[in-house]
Structures are given as C-alpha cells and as structure tokens.
A and B are shown apart, each in its own frame.
Chain A
C-alpha cells in the first residue's frame, strides 16, 4: 500500500515560530511547566476552523511569519494577529478554512496588529508528544524538535484530517472576536494576589491607573512591564510556592512581571495581582513597546467573563463543526 506522505516543509522559520497545543499538564510537581499557545482563544478557533480537536498541535507565529511549502493537499486556518500572509502571491484570508494544494508556498510577512498568529492544519501537526504534550517549551527545551523554535528545513508531519474537508474556500468566516483587539483601550483586568495588601497605597493605585509598557525582553515566560516603580509597604520573607499564568510578580527592582505560558511552576517573589483568565490572550497579543493599562476587577466579574467567553467559544466550535459537515 502506498503510504500518503503528508508534510509541510519549513522554508524559512520567521522570527519565532513553534509547535504548540493546549499545554503540558499534570507534571508541574516535577518542575515541568505548561507551555502551550500564548493566545489560547485564537489557537482554539484555528483548530475549530479545520475540524481539529482542541488538543491538536498547530503553529504559533511571532511578529514575523515563516515561509512554508505544502508537500500535500491540506486545509489551513489562520487566526490571531493580523499577519500579512500570501499563498503563491494571493492573500491568505484569516479566520476561515482555506484549502491549499500540494506545492503551494505560504509566505508570511509581518503583522499589522497583534503579536501572535496561529496557523492550524487539518489533522494537526502530528509530531510525537513529549511528556504528554506537543507544545514547545522554548525556555526549558522540552517538546517537538528538541524543544526549539522551528528552523529552515524542518518537516512538519500532518495527522489524518478528522473529516472530509472542503476543496474550495467557504464564503463564511469567524468574525475576528471582539476580545481580540490588541489596540483596545480597555484595561486588562486584575484580581487580588496574596500580597496585594503589602503594596504601598500609592503603588496599588498606580497599578490600576498608570500606563505600563511591554518591555523588550518580554517573551513566552513573561511580560516585563515598564512603568512606575512599585513598592511594598514593608519587605516580605517568602518561600517559593506555586505561581500561575497571569500571576503578576514583583521582583525587588519594582518592575512587575506578568507570567505567561512558559512560566516556572514556582516562584518566590510577592504576587501582587493576577491577570484574569480571559484577559491572558489579550496580553499575549501585545508587542514590546505596546501600552498596557490595568484595572482591578471583582472575582465575580472574572467568573462571569470566563463563563460568557466559554459559552461563546463552544457556540463557535459547534457552528464550525456544523458548517464543515455541510460542505
């Protein structure tokens, strides 16, 4: 029997392109972090658009995209940041499934808005899971391709598509979600951390009223936030304990760090706040130099926002599934 050869070849890797999925869960007790897609919403919708499961692996593209050659017919979906992507010269429309024939070359340029785009392939990127996940932890060097970003010459094997897929691009697309707007003036919402009360009154107010900027040395581990120097009313003696994605830590320098996908599992700095779960994807789309504002929010508001978003995402996933069946 002839075995179908389904791969995507990386011609140029772009600035920082990696294989990601929902993350590596269950072994944080060994010091192994979660990694996974930074913008979990855009990644989830890209998978939904090509009929993939939520856990399927896709590409996370940062700032400047890769050049890819399809060695097989496939169907792709591009979501997240507004990436200038072309297929054999024609624009690749985002937020919808797009069939590509074997030999197509996808050339991605820069991003007009946002910092991270997601490119899903029908069937998912079928690399071997490492410690239960196909996500790349660049900092710990765990994951596919030895835990590194993609390089020229890498071959991405694709899994079997989970359904019969369209041979023509459908006329419909997902509207770029309202919550996906890197330029939105709406503040990112915070709930109290264990040491919020240890901040000086002025620092606590500054966190919610002043403007911060994403520092240049931000990465998948965390966002360093330039802005007013924050201070504790009195020093704290802390022992290392669990931190989470979205935790705002305050190192002695007074420059807060918002932890992201590749954060260490434990930390010993004061936890001055936590970004709420639904706003983590919004921070993931900020670039170095972008302005960030925060606002304190009630935990009940965070719960309501999370539930509302989950309902909406499930509706979109259901609708994608229904429409892909109908094609």
Chain B
C-alpha cells in the first residue's frame, strides 16, 4: 500500500503535493494519475500543474476572487486537492501512449559512457536502445523529457564542464537519467546520439512529441536513415 501524499506550500500561492522521494516508476505513475484527476476536475483558481518525479506542483491564482469566502487559502486548496486525488485515482489513467524515437548513436560522449560501463560503444548503444522508458516529467526547457528506465550499467555522471550549446535532438545521459534535448540548449549531460525528430515544434498541435506518462522506445538507425528522416521532417 502506498503512503498517503503530503502537502507543502510552494510560496503563498502554490502547493506541492509530495508522493514520496527519489526517482521511481511507481511514484511517477501516482504523480501522473493525480495530475490527470485534478486536471479533469477543472477546479477554479488552479492555473497550472507541474509534475515532477515524486511530486506535483499546483500553481494557483492567489487572488482569483477578492471576497473572503472564495479567496485562495492554503488549507482550503489542500482540502480540495486531497479529496480530488484520494478518489480511485487509477480509474482515471488511460493506457499510456508509446512513442518511437529513432536515434543515430554516434554522440561525442558515447565512448566515455561505454568505457565507464565496461562496454564497447556498440554494446552501450544497444543497451540504451533496448530500454523501456517512461516520461517522468518535462522541464528545464519546453519539451525536455526526463525519462525513467535507464539501464543502471549506463548511469554516467554529468560532465565536469557543461557544453554551452547542445544541438537539438541530442540524446543524453545525466547520472541515472536519460533525455532528449528539444532545442539548442546549454547542458552538462553526456551526448550519446541524435534523433532527427523535433521534440518540440510550435508549428505542431500539440507542440510536444512526448507528454508526461508516455512510454518511449529508442530505435537505432544508421546515417542514411537519419538523413532520410531529416529530409522528410523539413519537407
């Protein structure tokens, strides 16, 4: 039986719901179930929901009504949230989407990652592509997915000196986490490959390729297929 969530203020107009600590698939599933329930309730005064690995931020309109009965109050919002997520949460969760992401495993840090793991670059790439990943959260930048499910053999500490420009589509490992850079960003993660897919594209609706709770599978592709997909995407 999982523990009941706890609530803490995040300033005077936001609340953090905590389901536990650390990075764990079961915790992550509870976060997404709670987010889905709260979103479905359309509670007045709630502006936004921010899933984390083990917690859910609830951003409120601290001043949504001025009269005393309706104004935001921490205790009242907590009571509402508690009631909302304690109902049968699992009933709300739909079957996760599976998103296939083709990757050309030729990143500048692939050799470092492989060496630490005592593997060849090809073996390291195969292990990464064999994983079954879940999008725990999006954060840091629009569309940046933090993925659960990295093979422990591939855990690699962040680079001592972060790069100022990581190219878009870079597939990277930072500690126990793996992710795909949606656009050119600074970053200290180890770059092991690149996808020709756009993770975040404002001309699409929705702009994000993956959403919290989605399952992700990486598929190794060669240079030729990478170029073909790039051409197809830009067409």
Chain A residues in the interface with B (C-beta under 8 A): 25-34, 130-131, 140, 142, 191-194, 239-247, 264-267, 271, 274-277, 299, 302-303, 306-307, 309-311, 313-314
Q: Does B129 contact A (CB under 8 A)?
A: no
Q: How far is the CB of A181 from chain B (nearest CB, A)?
A: 20
Q: Which residues of A contact B207 (CB under 8 A)?
A: 30, 131
Q: Which residues of B contact A267 (CB under 8 A)?
A: 139
B14/A242 in contact, CB under 8 A = yes
User: Closest B-chain residue to A242, C-beta based?
Assistant: B57
Q: Does B206 contact A (CB under 8 A)?
A: yes
Q: Which residues of A contact B22 (CB under 8 A)?
A: 239
Q: Which residues of B contact A247 (CB under 8 A)?
A: 10-11
Q: Does B189 contact A (CB under 8 A)?
A: no
A246/B138 in contact, CB under 8 A = no
Q: Which residues of A contact B212 (CB under 8 A)?
A: 29
Of the candidates B52, B72, B200, the one whose C-beta lies within 8 Å of that of A306 is B72
Q: Which residues of B contact A131 (CB under 8 A)?
A: 202, 207
A26-B47, A29-B50, A191-B11 given; A307·B139 CB < 8 A = no
Q: Which residues of B contact A27 (CB under 8 A)?
A: 48
User: Closest B-chain residue to A189, C-beta based?
Assistant: B12
Q: Which residues of A contact B66 (CB under 8 A)?
A: 307, 310-311, 314
Beta-carbon contacts of B85-116 to A below 8 Å, as 1s and 0s? 00000000000000000000000000000000
Chain B residues in the interface with A (C-beta under 8 A): 8-14, 16, 21-23, 35, 47-57, 59, 62-63, 66, 68, 71-74, 137-144, 146, 200, 202, 206-208, 211-212
A266-B52, A306-B62 given; A244·B11 CB < 8 A = yes
B62/A31 in contact, CB under 8 A = no
Q: Which residues of A contact B47 (CB under 8 A)?
A: 25-26
Interface contacts beyond A194-B16, A242-B52: sample of 4 additional A-B pairs, CB < 8 Å, sorted by A? A31-B143, A142-B202, A306-B71, A311-B66
A264-B140, A266-B139, A306-B63 given; A28·B49 CB < 8 A = yes
A244/B141 in contact, CB under 8 A = no
A28/B52 in contact, CB under 8 A = no
User: Closest B-chain residue to A141, C-beta based?
Assistant: B183
B138/A30 in contact, CB under 8 A = yes
Identify 9 residue pairs between A and B in the complex whose beta-carbon atoms are under 8 Å apart, listed by A's number: A28-B50, A30-B142, A30-B143, A32-B142, A142-B202, A242-B56, A244-B13, A264-B139, A264-B141
B211/A242 in contact, CB under 8 A = no
A31/B139 in contact, CB under 8 A = yes
A242/B143 in contact, CB under 8 A = no
A246 to B14, CA, bound (A): 11
Of the candidates A31, A274, A303, A311, the one whose C-beta lies within 8 Å of that of B10 is A274
